[in-house]
Structure 1
Amino acid sequence: MSCFSSLPEGCISYITSFTSPRDACRVAAISSTFKSAAESDIVWEKFLPSDYPEIISRSVSPVVYSTKKELYFLLCNSPILLDEGKLSFVLNKCSGKKCYMLRAIELSIVWGGSSEYWKWTSLPESRFSVVAELLGVTWLDIGGKMKTQMLSPKTTYAVYLVFKLAKNNRGLEVPVKASVRFVAEIQDRAENSDDTVYLKLAKDRQPNGRFPQKRGDGWMEIELGQFFNDHGDDSEVEMQLKETQEHLGKSGLIVKGIELWPKE
């Protein structure tokens, strides 16, 4: 410790910038000198995504900050809406990796344009201006696409449908097929390789598959799948949730969007 204490503050900042946000906070607790070094813009600039100026320039509301550390935690704790509210952006607090959510209206929802089957409405607990509420269909088919260049490279992402169930929902206990694939691989996919997920667990059985989890914001999420974003090349990932076999009436699904969250 004594040899590090004799280093100039700039050197401590430089060394700390090669660690992690969590380690930088630990370093700041050592002494006043280390605190000043660990909280410098040199450190927190390194933890922010390299394209953060372009990202915050697309925010629908001004992003106000005085230091790069303040900006980092602002982006971790308060998702910002981008591109006229089409999607939201937030950072993973531990890693600084990028997370996006596509709002429901940006998704491909079969019969989503028909007021007979889907209703577009607003909810005060949603960060987006509108959500999609299922009034009644027999086929459920929801999908979305995301360009990998927008995501953090060398990162495994999990993809989630974020939703709620209306009080009088029905027909949502059936198994649903979920898939996450690069668009270039779509034509080679086999339907039987898709994962089985459930939007609602039936009381009288415990089938095999993935089940929804409650989030801290009060919404539910079901994982559709995972993928590894290698170099973040100019490609696309397609996410889909589909049920076209049972032909049962379904209603009461409220879709907020699809979220891509980095796995630590």
Structure 2
Amino acid sequence: MGSSLSNLTEGAASGRPGLGDIPESCVACVFMYLTPPEICNLARLNRAFRGAASSDSVWENKLPPNYQDLLDLLPPERYHNSSKKDIFALLSRPVPFDDGNKEVWIDRVTGRVCMSISARGMAITGIEDRRYWNWVPTEESRFNVVAYLQQIWWFEVDGAVKFPFPADIYTVLFRLHLGRFTKRLGRRVCTFDHTHGWDIKPVRFELSTSDGHQSSCEFCLDETEQDEADGNHKRGCWIEYKVGEFIVTNSEPPTEVKFAMKQIDCTHSKGGLCVDAVFIIPSNLREHKRRGVLK
């Protein structure tokens, strides 16, 4: 295969047809069926491939249909006179909005829209009182800060976002961590001094959308009955809890998504929990990433 490709690329020098003889328009048609990483790799072969890989018609096909809504979150000078390829590269990086508490971006392989909402962008009961909550700076969050709960009786976190999501099926996830983590001598260390109460009763997760969809589920965040050899798999690790899914059939009007997690049984206190963010991601995209199909 490598020898055949070499012969094709060197065909022009030997008088035989090669890849460089393929019309750029034909190459562009083939690129319509490839992923952006594949297109960028093939662009290195020759001039025709480079030209096709820069074609607006190719990259228009890779962008979500409402990509202008994402661009509207940026200053116009960031994308003015940019090619569609440059716009794809720009939007594949996080675009912050709502004072930087929310981010939206397109997946680099599929071009589908993803979003994250920081703990700072949510309503957290008691967050102003440092006896209960603290903001902890960390590189382990894409927002560089997480909300850490020391102890509280009434636990409730609520959030909402209104956005013109493209047609797709989306999954809503809370990213949580039991225990407080720090770095000592370059190593990650977790402490569980405040971690308690999450094994008594489950936490309830709720999801609703402006088109009437509702779903809820419950998870026990702590596991005390673990095998001693295996340990507690939920402590000291970031875990994504799936709240539910919702379907968008059209980006207009914008879809409002509300989400919450709560444990409001005041018969016991709970603590030692880090709240990072909520993620809204196309459902089968999440499954592909978990299997390692997409990076």
Q: Normalising by structure 1, what TM-score?
A: 0.73
What is the CA distance between 1:258 and its match in structure 2? 0.8
> Is 1:120 equivalent to 2:146 in the alignment?
no
Q: For the pair shown, which has the larger CA radius of gyration, 1 or 2?
A: 2
What is the CA distance between 1:159 and its match in structure 2? 0.9
**Residues 156-167 of structure 1 mapped to structure 2, 5 A cutoff:** 156-165=169-178, 166=180, 167=191
| Structure 1 equivalent of residue 207 of structure 2 | 180
Identity percentage over the alignment? 26
CA RMSD of aligned residues (A): 3.7
Change beyond 3 A, Cα 1:16–1:195: same
For residues 233 and 64 of structure 1, what CA distance do their matches in structure 2 show? 23
| Structure 1 equivalent of residue 292 of structure 2 | none
Contact in 1 for aligned 2:66/2:251 (Cα 8 Å): no
How many pairs does the alignment contain?
A: 246
For residues 23 and 248 of structure 2, what CA distance do their matches in structure 1 show? 38
Contact in 2 for aligned 1:148/1:233 (Cα 8 Å): no
| Structure 2 equivalent of residue 106 of structure 1 | 121
Structure 2 gap ranges (5+): 1-16, 181-190, 228-232, 286-295
| Structure 1 equivalent of residue 88 of structure 2 | 72
User: Which of 220, 225, 228 lines up with 2:247 in the alignment?
Assistant: 228
Change beyond 3 A, Cα 1:212–1:38: farther
> Is 1:259 equivalent to 2:279 in the alignment?
yes
For residues 28 and 196 of structure 1, what CA distance do their matches in structure 2 show? 49
Change beyond 3 A, Cα 1:184–1:56: closer
Contact in 1 for aligned 2:216/2:244 (Cα 8 Å): no
For residues 156 and 140 of structure 2, what CA distance do their matches in structure 1 show? 25
For residues 220 and 88 of structure 2, what CA distance do their matches in structure 1 show? 35
Deviates more, 1:21-30 or 1:87-96: 21-30
| Structure 2 equivalent of residue 208 of structure 1 | none
Change beyond 3 A, Cα 1:46–1:255: same
Contact in 1 for aligned 2:27/2:48 (Cα 8 Å): no
Change beyond 3 A, Cα 1:160–1:185: same
Contact in 2 for aligned 1:182/1:236 (Cα 8 Å): yes
> Is 1:92 equivalent to 2:110 in the alignment?
no
For residues 27 and 229 of structure 1, what CA distance do their matches in structure 2 show? 34
Contact in 2 for aligned 1:213/1:221 (Cα 8 Å): no
Which SS does the other structure have where 1:194 is aligned? Answer: strand
Change beyond 3 A, Cα 1:197–1:42: same
For residues 127 and 277 of structure 2, what CA distance do their matches in structure 1 show? 13
Which SS does the other structure have where 2:104 is aligned? Answer: strand
Which SS does the other structure have where 2:212 is aligned? Answer: helix
1:21-75 Cα offsets, whole Å, 9 max, x none, are: 3664686588763454234333123212344455345359x96897644553564
| Structure 1 equivalent of residue 224 of structure 2 | 202
| Structure 2 equivalent of residue 247 of structure 1 | 267
For residues 212 and 96 of structure 1, what CA distance do their matches in structure 2 show? 32
Which SS does the other structure have where 1:185 is aligned? Answer: coil
Contact in 2 for aligned 1:159/1:225 (Cα 8 Å): yes
Q: Normalising by structure 2, what TM-score?
A: 0.67
| Structure 1 equivalent of residue 166 of structure 2 | 152
1:203-244 Cα offsets, whole Å, 9 max, x none, are: 349xxxxx9799xxx843211111111213433121121222
For residues 280 and 234 of structure 2, what CA distance do their matches in structure 1 show? 16
Contact in 2 for aligned 1:58/1:83 (Cα 8 Å): no
Q: Which amino acid letter does the alignment assign opposite residue 217 of structure 2?
A: D
Structure 1 gap ranges (5+): 206-210
Change beyond 3 A, Cα 1:198–1:229: farther
For residues 156 and 22 of structure 2, what CA distance do their matches in structure 1 show? 60
